[in-house]
Amino acid sequence: MDVDEIISQSSFSMLKGKVDGRILKALTSMGLEKPTRIQAEVLPHLLQGKDLIGAAKTGSGKTLAFLIPVVDTLIKLGWSAKSGTGCVILSPTRELALQTFDVLKKLLVQINLSHCLIVGGEKRAKDVIKLKKGANIIVSTPGRLLDHLQGTENFNCDKLKCLVLDEADKLLEAGFKKHITGIINLLPTKRQTVLFSATMGENVKNLASLAMRTDPVIISVTDNKMSTVSGLQQGYYICPVEKRISWLYKMLKKSKKLKVMVFFSSCKSVDFHYEFFGEHCKANVLSIHGQQSQARRKEAYHSFIEAQNGVLFCTDVAARGLDIPSVDWIVQYDPPSDPKEYIHRVGRTARGLNNKGNAVILLRPEEKNFIEFLQKEKVFLDKYSFGDPPDEVQEMLENLIASNGVMKTLARKAYLSFLRCYKTHPLKKIFDINSLDLKLAAKAFGFLEQPHVDFRILFIKIMLYYRLIESVLCK
């Protein structure tokens, strides 16, 4: 019997007597009977307290793979409120931390282990109150946790038993290496360390060697033939830049009864399209991006989770790890920065066991070489045909921009942000701003006349933008 057959015949009930019964009851109440492959392969090692590096595609069930042994370990150690912090889980984004925390709460329904969420965007004083009460399990973003470890009186992790680094590749991409290094230096060396990542590059391996004091178990369940899950149907649609917003209108109109996520390259573009489709097209739209308040992001995230249908406009802040139920379509309206980001975007659908989903990326005719580029990364797309988009939507947008000052300002900011992202795209041979007709691109934002663009000023704004993002991420 091979590994796949063994896993197909396994169930969580087989852990009876090996993990606390209340954990198994919680899994049953969550509707979970069978472990995913990553869960089945890592649980035996983590339950023995071993350090582990796990590599698996997004949507494979990594969250429960580390939460089950974390909770069971603290129960077996007789952990209580007076015992202090026993586990820290680090996530790259506030949304992923919130999602992990929500799963943890479900797991602890009948278990008396204190737990708290510590992320940027919330008032620091609220964090201090939580930490002073005592938290056995902390889910946090790195910058905020390091801030408290260095500056909050009577808070430390001297008794820590387990450190989890979730989405390690994204932690590094987000510039958190120095924060993680600072955190590790303040933690006891005698602990279990668990690292999960969708990709396993040299940076992730270096982080593992920094964080782990023993030779870790390495588990990889990635498919060498394909980089995305088998239940995903994915394709591309070739669309001239000036027809994009009409195409999106048609796509969303056809998908009224479905759940759709639409990815944009900038926060300004999300704001503009959210306002146009939500207020003027009366579409059922929510939005999430990194420049929104934490309260608004949290509300939109929970609303979309609970929704049976609707649309979420977002940036790549929503591309990593978020487990949103029953997403039918992923639309990549703007191109991702690289194949890894493409994979993480489409990973928001077709999640878990036996799930299916659809994805489409919108490309200009000049960008078609991106398809071949993806093929080299083992991502294979079909060519989709959606028919001609309706012209009346473009006319409606142009009339709106001409008569509505608020929308005109939003459109101009979105247009300049679109150019900024395009000009700085890493794949310049494919996404070449010199091949982009700026007047036609402006038409996609409702302008009959192209707004003036000073590329020297645009370059300065690019530099200021990246400094702003860096400062936000470090909080």
Across the chain, mean pLDDT equals: 87
C-alpha distance from residue 94 to each of 90, 97, 150, 287, 311 (Å):
10, 5, 20, 15, 20
Q: Which of the pair, 294 or 48, is modelled with greater confidence?
A: 48
Q: Number of C-alpha atoms within 13 angstroms, CB side, residue 445?
A: 25
Among 182-191, 318-327, 450-459, where is mean pLDDT lowest? 450-459
- pTM > 0.75: yes or no: no
Give pLDDT, residue 94.
87
The full set of domains in the chain, from first to last, is 3-220 (3.40.50.300), 232-471 (3.40.50.300)
Percentage of residues in the chain with pLDDT exceeding 70?
89
Q: How far apart, in whole angstroms, are the C-alpha atoms of residue 208 and residue 19?
A: 27
Q: Which of the pair, 182 or 200, is modelled with greater confidence?
A: 182
Give pLDDT, residue 340.
80
CB-based contact 327:103 (threshold 8 Å): no
Among 56-65, 114-123, 159-168, where is mean pLDDT lowest? 56-65
Average pLDDT over residues 344-366: 83
Give pLDDT, residue 461.
56
Give pLDDT, residue 410.
96
Q: Which of the pair, 459 or 125, is modelled with greater confidence?
A: 125
Give pLDDT, residue 49.
94
Q: Which of the pair, 21 or 319, is modelled with greater confidence?
A: 21
Give pLDDT, residue 349.
84
For the ranges 123-132, 388-397, 404-413, the maximum mean pLDDT occurs at: 404-413
Structural tokens at position 105 = 């709460």
* Confidence band for 3, pLDDT divided at 50, 70 and 90: low
Question: Per-residue pLDDT for 462 more than 60?
Answer: no
Give pLDDT, residue 230.
66
Give pLDDT, residue 197.
86
- Per-residue HEC secondary structure of 178-225 comes to HHHHHHHHCCCCCCEEEEEECCCCHHHHHHHHHHCCCCCEEEECCCCC
Give pLDDT, residue 109.
94
Beta-bridged to residue 262, according to DSSP, are 313, 331
Q: Is 186 exposed, middle or buried (0-12, 13-18, 19+ CB in 10 A)?
A: middle
Give pLDDT, residue 133.
86
Give pLDDT, residue 95.
85
Q: Which of the pair, 97 or 225, is modelled with greater confidence?
A: 97
Give pLDDT, residue 376.
85
Q: Which of the pair, 347 or 108, is modelled with greater confidence?
A: 108
Q: In this predicted model, what pLDDT tens digit does every residue of 192-222 receive, in sequence order?
A: 999 998 777 788 888 888 898 778 999 988 6
Starting at the edge strand that comes first in sequence, how are the strands of the sheet with 137-140 ordered? 115-118, 137-140, 87-90, 162-165, 192-197, 52-55, 217-220
β-pairing verdict for 329-332 and 357-363: parallel
Give pLDDT, residue 399.
95
For the ranges 1-15, 54-68, 263-277, 368-382, the maximum mean pLDDT occurs at: 263-277
- Residue 62: count of CB within 10 angstroms of its CB: 28
Give pLDDT, residue 458.
55
Q: How far apart, in whole angstroms, are the C-alpha atoms of residue 188 and residue 162?
A: 10
Question: Per-residue pLDDT for 390 more than 60?
Answer: yes
Question: Per-residue pLDDT for 107 more than 60?
Answer: yes
Average pLDDT over residues 313-332: 83
Average pLDDT over residues 457-466: 55
* Confidence band for 1, pLDDT divided at 50, 70 and 90: very low
Q: In this predicted model, what pLDDT tens digit does every residue of 268-317 receive, in sequence order?
A: 999 999 999 999 999 999 999 988 988 898 899 889 999 999 999 999 88
